[in-house]
Amino acid sequence: MIDKAFINQPEQLRQLKAATEQFGFNMASEDLTGALLQVLAASKPGGRLLELGTGTGFGTSWLLSGMDENATLVSVETDERVQSVARKFLGADERLSLVLEDGAEFLRKQPNQSFDLVFADAMPGKFESLDDALAAVKPGGFYIIDDLLPQPNWPDGHGLKVDDLMCRLGADARFARVPMVWASGVAVLTRLAPLA
């Protein structure tokens, strides 16, 4: 049963939604995706988390709401105007580092297996620089993507990109995976620890 009454929304989410509506940004994560992010973030106490595509901070707020006081989140965005909404409402949280940079460039500089959770909510890390994003996930860590079900704002041919992406992920023996008909379509992968 899907019932949003059982979801604990982040305290800043209402303000973020109002500001996002005024801003005209229409690519924010859904609440059901956020609730999943919250749960997965909570499973990584003291973890180092990465979000590719801050947007106005919906996903960011959900991740922060699941994190403990020792966890950290790096959120990367290319659009300063959009990220400014997240900075206004979430920027005082010392666990959060908001980075203004191309996600692909950011990923290229990251050591292998350096994040406990990677949420790729932008083209980089999902349809671009996928190998770099997957390499950044620690054993036991999560790689999460959304927007895998057809969306009204998809450009022509995007469905084929999604199919190709899912085939690539399905062939990667380093990860266990579960695609879900949840929210906008979500896939969660966990990097397998090497066998002794």
Report the domain count for the chain. Answer: 1
pLDDT per residue over 35-78, tens digit each? 999 999 999 999 999 999 999 999 999 999 999 999 999 999 99
Q: What CATH number is given to the structural domain containing 176?
A: 3.40.50.150
pLDDT per residue over 82-113, tens digit each? 999 999 999 999 999 999 999 999 999 999 99
14 part of a folded domain:
no
Task: Name the residue range of residue 44's domain.
Answer: 29-191
Provide the phi-psi class of 129: left if phi over 0, else alpha when psi is between -120 and 50, else beta: left
Cβ atoms of 10 and 33 within 8 Å: the answer is no
Question: Does the predicted TM-score (pTM) go above 0.85?
Answer: yes
Q: What is the CA radius of gyration of the chain?
A: 16
CA gap 47, 169 in Å, rounded: 24
142 part of a folded domain:
yes
8 part of a folded domain:
no
